[in-house]
A and B are shown apart, each in its own frame.
Chain A
Amino acid sequence: LLERPSAKYDIVDVDAHYLENVRDFAEYLEEPDRTTFRNWSGEYHLPVPSGVYNDTHLGGRIKRTAEKMGANFGGITAPEHVKETMEWLGIDAIVLIPTYMLTLGVLSDRDRAVAICKAFVDYMLDGRSDAEKGIYFPIVVPLQDPEAGAKLIDEYADRPEVCAVMANAGTFQPPLGSVTYNPIYEAAQRHGLPVICHAGNLGPDFSQFQRGFQSFLENHALDLVFCNEVQVTSVILEGVFERYPNLQFIFQESGVAYIPALMHRLDTEYMRRRTDAPVLKRLPSDYVREHLYFATQPFETSLKPKHAEYLFDMLGGPDRLMYASDWPHWDWDHPDVISELPFLTEDGKQKILGGNARKILRMHSPVAAEVAR
């Protein structure tokens, strides 16, 4: 049997999914929203990605997440499941990312977006997170109203359970590099919080580029990388890091193979068209290596080790990567996918499995005792 990585490393999972119960949300809203949402006649408070109409768990072939979570595949639904998840994956600290709110960017209703984002913080603070036990969550900001987003950050940034700010990669427009979002970035930088950008699986019925795809496979393979390619391109080429030089971004759930391809694409185009982005003082890839982090899941296990080694080198090495499980979604990763990579040093493995996350996300809980140096 493999030696479980939890025995050797301090492991931080930067992306596990809490399935926020939108019905419970009502109780965390202020009036009159509380009454409005409590009596909501529709099924959902947020747009639902068409991806959910597919069978993500392959007709019963993927069983483990259901065994651990009951019948619910969408996310962790109860505080006790967080503890079980951490124990079984051997995780020392976990970042709970919401599930329904991944589609928040599709919502046009500004006031509803603001209300839901505030309620989500109170909902997570009410027994669903615990900094002492290493259970954190990000403040999800309403991109629909950046001033309100900044206010939300100011109000809650000091709570120890808050480890980051989160902006969704789903189809919200304009993309995240826009100066429109300055209030959010200014607040995040002021409080020393990184910005998490999680891929949004909106599905072939939502996305203009994927309309007509016939399978979940087609849609998911492209959707969850394309949305982050859009946001990386935007935040770098529109000069977010010239405006906010201390800001860090963490891009989640697009794997790692796309990163070097995008870095070279951006560098080559920039070198031909510098006058389109005169605010940049360095090559786009230099900003990637200084300001961007990438969650590894779903790690491309099809890579041969020698190719993975080159790929890691091209994107800036282990310093740029953070392990994520995406538990309990169908394409989740065990920490083995990192700890078993033959070309990484022990130091490199520890950085990816937890060290980088501890450095960039704001976490107070102790590093696993066995590996604390």
Chain B
Amino acid sequence: VSSNGNTAASRYTEVEVGRIDEIAPGGRKLVHFGDIAIGVFNIDGDFYAIENTCPHQGGPLCEGDLFRHLDAEVTEDKRIRKFFRSEHHDIIACPWHGYEFDIKTGRCLVNPIYSTQPYPTRVEAGAIYVSVPNALAPAST
């Protein structure tokens, strides 16, 4: 998909949402498209975008804090060992009820039916682009 490429075959439009130096690692920027807000996150230099509405009770998901993925496994001697699955803080917790989502995939950690669809991102020449449905994209000039 080319920048602002809006062909008949594509239902998505790439929209520039900011410069990479605007969002520090661990930071985020909220971008509004009409009634929809999308959070763009810098996870250790890579950019990810998810919608700012929690699928659980509609809370402002992108206002949540980021955490490392706390996980656990059953060890060979049948004990339980807790560990951090991720090196980076790539799990967002909704500030309303604490439901957790993987920023990179949108997967809700407790129940996949609550997962949110991430928006593809791309960086080119220092600019961050997010692919949004055509209906949400600002009218091209």
Contact = CB atoms under 8 A, between A and B. Distances in A.
Interface of A: 1-2, 57-64, 67, 301-302, 330-334, 336-337
A334 B58 contact: yes
Given A62-B93, A334-B57, A302 B111 contact: yes
A177 to B, nearest CB: 35
B95 A333 contact: no
Most-contacted residue by chain A among B53, B56, B57, B58 (CB, 10 A): B57
Contact of B35 (A1, A60, A64, A336): A1
Contacts of A64: 59, 95-96
B64 interface: yes
A63 B93 CA distance: 9
Given A1-B35, A302-B111, A63 B57 contact: no
A61 B64 contact: yes
B112 to A, nearest CB: 12
B58 A62 contact: no
A61 B57 contact: no
B98 interface: yes
- Top-10 shortest CB links A-B: A61-B93, A61-B98, A63-B95, A62-B98, A64-B95, A58-B98, A334-B57, A64-B96, A1-B35, A2-B58
Contacts of A62: 93, 95-98
A60 B65 contact: yes
Interface string B89-102: 00001011110100
A306 to B, nearest CB: 14
B98 A57 contact: yes
The SS class assigned to the B binding surface is loop
Interface in B17-66: 35, 53, 56-59, 63-65
Nearest to B60: A64
A67 B111 contact: no
Given A58-B98, A331-B97, A63 B64 contact: yes
15 contacts: A1-B35, A2-B58, A58-B93, A60-B65, A61-B98, A61-B100, A62-B93, A62-B98, A63-B93, A63-B95, A64-B96, A330-B97, A331-B97, A334-B96, A336-B57
A298 to B, nearest CB: 9
A107 to B, nearest CB: 32
Interface residues of B, number: 17
A87 B95 CA distance: 19
The SS class assigned to the A binding surface is loop
Contacts of A337: 57
Contacts, number: 45
A62 B93 CA distance: 7
Contacts of B59: 64, 334
A336 B58 contact: yes
Given A62-B95, A63-B95, A301-B56, 9 more contacts: A57-B98, A59-B67, A60-B93, A61-B67, A61-B100, A301-B57, A302-B111, A330-B97, A334-B59
Contacts of B96: 62, 64, 334
B132 to A, nearest CB: 16
A1 B97 CA distance: 19
Nearest to B35: A1
Contacts of B57: 301, 333-334, 336-337
Contacts of B100: 61
Given A57-B98, A331-B97, A334-B57, A63 B111 contact: no
B82 to A, nearest CB: 12
Contacts of B64: 61, 63
A334 B96 CA distance: 10
Most-contacted residue by chain B among A60, A61, A67, A330 (CB, 10 A): A61
Contacts of A334: 57-59, 96
A267 B95 CA distance: 42
A334 B65 CA distance: 21
Most-contacted residue by chain B among A1, A59, A64, A301 (CB, 10 A): A64
B111 A330 contact: no
Contacts of A332: 97
A221 B56 CA distance: 19
Nearest to A56: B98
Contacts of B58: 2, 334, 336
Contacts of A61: 64-65, 67, 93, 98, 100
A64 B65 CA distance: 11
Contacts of B67: 59-61
Given A1-B35, A61-B64, A61-B65, A67 B56 contact: no
A330 B98 CA distance: 9
Contacts of B35: 1
Contacts of A59: 67
